[in-house]
A and B are shown apart, each in its own frame.
Chain A
Amino acid sequence: MSKIGVFICHCGENISATVDVERVSKEIGGMEGVAHAIDYKYMCSDPGQTFIKEAVKKYDLDGVVVGACSPRMHEPTFRRACAESGLNPYLCEMANLREHCSWVHEKSEETTDKAIDLVKMLVEKVKKNKPLDSIKVPVTKRALVIGGGIAGIQASLDIANTGHQVILIEKDPSIGGHMSQLSETFPTLDCSQCILTPRMVEVAQHPNIKLYTYAELESLEGFIGNFTAKIRLKAKSVNYSTCTGCGACIQKCPVKKIPSEFNAGLGTRTAIYVPFPQAVPNKPVIDRVNCNYYKRGACKICEKTCQVGSIEWDKEDEIITEQVGAVVLATGFDVKGADFFPEYGYGKFKDVLTGLQFERLASASGPTFGEIRRPSDGAIPKKIVFIACAGSRDPAKGIPYCSKICCMYTAKHAMLYQHKVHDGESTVFYMDIRAGGKNYEEFVRRAIEEDTVNYIRGRVARVYEKNGKLIVKGVDTLLGGEQVEIEADMVVLATAGVANCGSEQLAQKLHVSYDPYHFFAEAHPKLKPVETNTAGIFLAGACQAPKDIPETVGMASGAAVKVAALFSNDQLVREPVVAVVNRLAPPLYSTCVGCFMCETACPYNAIEHEEIKGRDGSLIRTIARVNQGLCQGCGTCVAFCRSKSIDIQGYTNEQVYAEVMSLLND
């Protein structure tokens, strides 16, 4: 027979004020299988815990029920106390007498009766509890970082600096991401390249970082601590081990009119190219879509130019396999193009730009070397209109959220313009100014007050061209909805930040969830912002939602710490609340018949196919097996299993059945 110890807590008066705790301990003491039952003022106090520890030894208890507060509060406390006295911690359960009883009912017989029922229920459960051991999973101490923008760079450096290996993959020919495209950064107006480039170089030179540019994730299998990543190294057509990065091939390439992605379409590049002068690695790739040789089979000028013979025409994509223990997703975001806006001319007007294009105009490394000039005629615009919330906060456009960074960069753009064109006039149409952040509001005030940027609260209905000018028609809602019409030389749209193209497919490859806008979903909106629902996969930066540089860097460091914490042990220790498939002696092996309904139900892909083979190696049966590294213990599979072959530790069929039976048996 069981020897259960029951400990009823008064919780000062929190429980004893409405529950007759003495009656509870007395009645429970009379239950079959209860060896010892007491009540005490504060069970969680040192003396209270000592009572438990002593009773475990004195009565040789094989189970403990503490009737006190919510298990969500003190279950770890009492389980630790049991463990310290030599009782398996998973033989300890709590009955919630405070939150679910004494605090929600008046003092009465019924309240005490309910308390007794609640304790009884847990006593019956504990009788069916089994000692459990924490689950230990080995950890591969190498991280995969996907995306080489500032988020991926920061995460990689932080992880690498803790002494662990990092594999950083970037789909473009260079790392740097959107940050490398920016001119100056708010709120300090320091040059983006100046602060970013040293970090890019550090990544390239770090002994713990293996960098693969022009590479994409092909697949990811496995689970926390034990992932296998297949990475596609796209053919660069240039042998990087011999290429010196002299750039002669780029000079000679005859295909020169390809819109430069780095310059957001405002400049051009060649078919063999380095995306920007500070690129890391600073070696070219051949864009096979535009290259004459790949298109027409003739040209090869670059090959003739190359002194070291680095051009590899027949190079194919290569798939490599890497074992990693954790993954940081830092794939960033994208911005809507001007062609998303019929009201602003569908991107037809050359002088209607996106914010990102304006960044390139304002950048010293940009197509105009930092001079603000109109793409249409190269003239310096004397009047410029900035439209904030272009797409953002517009449910009609399918983007109800705030893109967060636009208010700040629009203020920055206006400021940069005023600094560069002293006699220019700039106007900002805005809905609200969202300048939450250190020195952000001051920055916007400076734009308005010192740099005399004209801020108009209202939306722009239409932009159209007339006599070489862009006519901007909007309203000023602070002037009672008065119509405003501005003849501008240039219009800049602060277009919405959106999830990267392909993020949905990537999420599916990684089995992480994503929100309706295809940004990756964090595990908890407040308390687990860098974790995903898939253990071992973390998020950094704007792939989770639009965010600015300081936030991105903070999040990347947060993700890096999570990875470092995971790597701080050789083994991962987890609560043993996981599902298990029963195993029996041959010839039964298991009652599982391998219908794999559990597999279709499992949110974590934790169900594997286990082949049972005879001595001659022939297949006898295929049954389900739970990967304890992946299983999170929801138990959904258990409720689906028709033959009750799969069960979940801590909430087994026997345990919950006993609870239900006890509640109603009287």
Chain B
Amino acid sequence: MEKLRGRAAALLADGSVALIIGYEEGTKRPRPLFCRNSESTKKLIFDSRCINNLAVYITKKELVGKDRIAVTASISTLRSILQLYVENQLSEEKLLVLTVDLNGELREFVTFDEISAYVAQFELKRGEREQEILSKIEGMNREERWKFWLGEMSHCFKCYACRSACPLCYCSKCVVEVNRPQWINPWPAPLANMEWHINRAMHMVGRCTACGACGDACPVGIPIDLITRKMMKDMAPEFGYIPGQPAKQGNALSSWKLDDREQFIR
């Protein structure tokens, strides 16, 4: 921790970065901290309780400006960073990534290849809560699934916290804000909710890195992260990619193989 603080202070002091995005103690759990001077780095912490996906901030132009920034990244954040890189949203010159590895050593990544190699050691695991709900859903027939999701969606009041928390929802204009035509109504209503969540899942296919930020952010506890996570797991073997290991291989959905499954096509 001291090493992290020291390095962060040095980076800011010598001007190699203008901003360091990290964590500080919050009232209930760690919260994001934006350090612009060496003084504030004293508050930096980094441990397993730091679960906010900080990658969400690094695409925000109004926050990061034009300067080089640094971010302290958990595995989830690293995965998101790689996916953002795949999608041409980041450049190596503008980003320095810090993390603390399993041995408690401070690690610094300058290139995305280094991050990719580091992330490759970690397998994506399914959480208990996730497994529990998935088993429940898998035990349902189609009508039951429909009713289950309708029930869950009936709580959604379209606060779009899921969208805000997701590092990959960086569009400047979301499809719900497109009004020529208005594909999906932006307000809460059963159809608009269902369409929004199906649309979100579709937009995440081959992109979601399973950080779970959307589900954590939902104020009414809809397990929406499950949809995108499950899709990620199910589509990976289908499209031939390793979940949780984005690489510069293009977008899984916008590429294809001659022998993609097609028994459903008559």
Direct contact of A and B (CB under 8 A): yes
Q: Please list the residues of chain A having a beta carbon within 8 angstroms of any beta carbon in chain B.
A: 588, 591, 593-598, 600-601, 618, 622, 640, 642-645, 653-654, 657-658
Are A642 and B203 closer than 8 Å at their CB atoms? Answer: yes
Q: In the complex where A600-B255, A642-B203, A644-B178 touch, is A593 in contact with B171 (Cβ < 8 A)?
A: yes
Q: In the complex where A643-B178, A654-B180, A658-B181 touch, is A596 in contact with B87 (Cβ < 8 A)?
A: yes
Distance to closest chain A CB from B200 (angstroms) = 10
Are B173 and A653 closer than 8 Å at their CB atoms? Answer: no
- Alpha-carbon distance A642/B178, docked complex (angstroms): 10
Known: A593-B172, A601-B255, A657-B183. 12 other contacts (CB 8 A): A595-B87, A595-B89, A596-B88, A597-B251, A597-B253, A640-B253, A643-B173, A643-B174, A643-B178, A653-B180, A653-B183, A654-B181
- Alpha-carbon distance A645/B173, docked complex (angstroms): 9
Are A591 and B251 closer than 8 Å at their CB atoms? Answer: no
Q: In the complex where A643-B178, A657-B183 touch, is A588 in contact with B172 (Cβ < 8 A)?
A: yes
Distance to closest chain A CB from B264 (angstroms) = 18
Distance to closest chain B CB from A247 (angstroms) = 52
- Alpha-carbon distance A654/B182, docked complex (angstroms): 9
Q: Which of B172, B175, B203, B254 contacts A601 (CB 8 A)?
A: B254
Q: Which residues of A contact B175 (CB under 8 A)?
A: 642-644
Q: Which residues of B contact A653 (CB under 8 A)?
A: 180-181, 183
Q: Which residues of B contact A597 (CB under 8 A)?
A: 87, 251, 253-254
Say yes or no for B250: interface residue by CB 8 A criterion. Answer: yes
- Alpha-carbon distance A654/B180, docked complex (angstroms): 6
- Alpha-carbon distance A595/B172, docked complex (angstroms): 12
Sampled A-B contacts (29; CB under 8 Å) = A588-B172, A591-B178, A593-B171, A593-B172, A594-B88, A595-B87, A595-B89, A596-B87, A596-B88, A597-B87, A597-B254, A598-B254, A600-B255, A601-B251, A640-B253, A640-B254, A642-B175, A643-B172, A643-B173, A643-B174, A643-B175, A644-B178, A645-B173, A653-B180, A653-B181, A654-B180, A654-B181, A657-B183, A658-B181
Q: Which residues of A contact B181 (CB under 8 A)?
A: 653-654, 657-658
Q: Which residues of A contact B255 (CB under 8 A)?
A: 600-601
Q: Which residues of A contact B178 (CB under 8 A)?
A: 591, 643-644
Q: Which residues of A contact B142 (CB under 8 A)?
A: none
- Alpha-carbon distance A597/B88, docked complex (angstroms): 10
- Alpha-carbon distance A591/B174, docked complex (angstroms): 9
Distance to closest chain B CB from A580 (angstroms) = 14
- Alpha-carbon distance A32/B251, docked complex (angstroms): 44
Q: Which 3 pairs, one residue from A and one from B, show the smallest C-beta to C-beta distance? A: A601-B254, A657-B181, A591-B173
Q: Which residues of B contact A600 (CB under 8 A)?
A: 250-251, 254-255
**Quick one: which of B170-213 are within 8 Å of A by CB?**
170-175, 178, 180-181, 183, 203
Q: By the criterion of a CB under 8 Å from any partner CB, how many residues of chain B are at the interface?
A: 20
Say yes or no for B66: interface residue by CB 8 A criterion. Answer: yes
Distance to closest chain B CB from A507 (angstroms) = 16
Are A618 and B66 closer than 8 Å at their CB atoms? Answer: yes
- Alpha-carbon distance A597/B89, docked complex (angstroms): 12
Q: Which residue in chain A gives the minimum CB-CB distance to B66?
A: A618
Distance to closest chain A CB from B116 (angstroms) = 18
Q: Which of A595, A618, A640, A654 contacts B88 (CB 8 A)?
A: A595
Q: Which residue in chain B gives the minimum CB-CB distance to A636?
A: B254
Q: Which residues of A contact B203 (CB under 8 A)?
A: 642
Q: Which residue in chain A gives the minimum CB-CB distance to B86?
A: A595
Distance to closest chain B CB from A584 (angstroms) = 9
Using an 8 Å CB-CB cutoff, how does the interface string of B8-51 with A read, 1 for contact, 0 for none? 00000000000000000000000000000000000000000000
Q: Which residue in chain B gives the minimum CB-CB distance to A595?
A: B87
- Alpha-carbon distance A657/B183, docked complex (angstroms): 8
- Alpha-carbon distance A618/B172, docked complex (angstroms): 20
Q: Which residue in chain A gives the minimum CB-CB distance to B250?
A: A600
- Alpha-carbon distance A68/B136, docked complex (angstroms): 54
Q: Which residue in chain B gives the minimum CB-CB distance to A658?
A: B181
- Alpha-carbon distance A541/B165, docked complex (angstroms): 58
Q: Which residues of A contact B88 (CB under 8 A)?
A: 594-596, 622
Q: Which residue in chain A gives the minimum CB-CB distance to B252?
A: A600
Q: Which residues of B contact A640 (CB under 8 A)?
A: 253-254
Using an 8 Å CB-CB cutoff, how does the interface string of B152-178 with A read, 1 for contact, 0 for none? 000000000000000000111111001
